[in-house]
Amino acid sequence: MKLLFDQNLSHRLVHALQKDYPDSRHVREVGLHGATDVVVWQYAMQQGFAIVTKDADFHQRSFLFGHPPKVIWVRVGNASTATIEALLRRRTDDVGTFCSDPDSAFLILD
């Protein structure tokens, strides 16, 4: 599962979740720190990533444009990185099923 963590999530998640989500990256690791949603969207689509975000704008883009890329919306409010890490760890099976389903475009984790 190749996840691309948006800039509203900590870059530390990549290392912390490496065992569960190998091949994942943070936008700053791929030169997209501060990039617009359109640029992040295009990069994720071209490179085969699912975008993980707390940004509702990607939710809207998903409805407008479909997939790829797939979008995982982490709806936990102002949560710590540890809380988000625990959520992604707890939902690994759901994320895997979502990523491998050719028809699914959007997943909400809360």
What is the count of structural domains for the chain? Answer: 1
Give the largest CA-CA distance in the chain.
33
Q: Which domain holds residue 74?
A: 3-109
pTM across the whole model: 0.95
Q: Which residues contact 102 (CB under 8 A, 6 or more apart)?
A: none
Angstrom distances, CA of residue 103 to CA of 3, 5, 50, 77, 106? 18, 22, 14, 28, 10
Segments of the chain assigned E as strands: 3-5, 25-26, 50-53, 71-74, 106-109
Looking at residue 77, its pLDDT comes to 85
pLDDT digit string (tens) for the chain, length 110 residues: 899 999 999 999 999 999 999 999 999 999 999 999 999 999 999 999 999 999 888 988 998 998 999 999 999 988 999 999 999 999 999 999 999 999 999 999 99
Looking at residue 32, its pLDDT comes to 97
